[in-house]
């Protein structure tokens, strides 16, 4: 299972607006992506409610994963997206 670590670049964390932008980007990939913290069960990254439920803070590290090895470029794109300030765009 391909995985990538990402750091939340939005200072205020993944509240409604940045979480929505992230989950829309995930959904647009057509890939089943999971997001979570170490030691906790991951959630579906295309669900805004599940992502908001993680209460992720700016600077926090998360783990993204997919079942399909061919989706590794998708993970790289999502890591880059999470590193940006999604409140600024």
15 is a catalytic site residue = yes
Structure tokens given for 16: 């409604």
CA separation, residue 73 to residues 49, 70, 76 (Å): 25, 8, 5
Catalytic hit among 2, 9, 15, 29: 15
d(CA 41, CA 11): 24
Any idea which residues carry the catalytic annotation? 15
């Amino acid at each position: 299972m391909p995985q990538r670590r990402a750091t939340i670049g939005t200072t205020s964390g993944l509240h409604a607006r940045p979480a929505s932008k992230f989950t829309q980007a995930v959904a647009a990939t057509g890939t089943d992506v999971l997001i979570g913290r170490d030691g906790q069960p991951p959630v579906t990254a295309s669900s805004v409610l599940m992502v908001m439920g993680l209460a992720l803070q700016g600077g926090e590290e998360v783990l993204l994963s997919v079942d399909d090895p061919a989706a590794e470029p998708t993970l790289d794109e999502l890591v880059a997206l999470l590193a940006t300030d999604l409140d600024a765009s």
